[in-house]
Amino acid sequence: MVEIVEKRIPEQKVAYVPHTDSFSKLPEFIKEVGDLIAENNFKAVGYPYGSYENDLEERAENNQMFEVGMPIDNFYNDGKPAGRIGKLGLKEVTSHTVLAARHKGTHKNFNETIKAIVDYAIKNQYDIVGPITEIYFPAEEGSPVEENMTEIQIPVIYMGPKRD
């Protein structure tokens, strides 16, 4: 049974790189973003994420569209906000509400967790308003893939009866 919670995500600045490729390359894409953040003297202040809007089953494995990024403390460059530095994009994400669930183990059965969140949203009168985002928590060195922990977040707006 998947535990699903409603969370408020605070406003944050993120550095990211968009990709049209295979999710199997995610570890190298996360490293790339971390390296670009360090090279540009930004400071990561959270865990890496992957965000995608396409249905993973509708697109070929090597043709997935997604962005990989990390929250950073600021994105000022020479005293001015930067929008892009080479392939590194920089943006501010406004505060928003998500339905979230933790997924433990491989990505093989991710769709089951996503489907559980979507079903919960429909049953509980939420509208889905944005892309699925996965937050990747670091694993212990050498730990089995079954121990990997990822939080899946889906942005929503509650459309049901007024709550106190």
pLDDT of residue 44: 95
Confidence at residue 56, expressed as pLDDT on a 0 to 100 scale? 58
The Cβ-side half-sphere exposure at 67, using a 13 Å CA radius, reads 18
Q: Encoding tokens for residue 37?
A: 């953040």
**DSSP line for the chain:** ---EEEEEEPPEEEEEEEEEE-GGGHHHHHHHHHHHHHHTT--B-S--EEEE-S-TTTS-GGGEEEEEEEEES--EETTEE-SEETTEEEEEEPPEEEEEEEEES-STTHHHHHHHHHHHHHHTTEEE-S-EEEEEPPPPTT--GGG-EEEEEEEEEE-SS---
Q: What is the pTM of this model?
A: 0.87
Q: Of 130, 110, 133, 117, whose CA–CA distance to 48 is shortest?
A: 133
Q: 98-151: per-residue pLDDT in tens?
A: 999 999 887 777 888 999 999 999 999 999 999 999 999 988 777 777 778 899
Domains in the chain, start-ordered, CATH in brackets?
4-158 (3.20.80.10)
The alpha carbon torsion through 103, 109, 115, 117 (nearest 10 deg) reads 0
Report the distance separating Cα 33 and Cα 153, nearest Å. 20
Residue-averaged pLDDT of the chain: 88
The pLDDT of residue 15 is: 95
Spatial contact of 14 and 91, defined as CB atoms under 8 Å apart: yes
Contact 70, 84 (CB under 8 A): no
**Closest to 49 measured CA to CA, from 77, 19, 79:** 19
Cβ-contact 77, 42 below 8 angstroms = no
Segment 152-158 mean pLDDT: 96
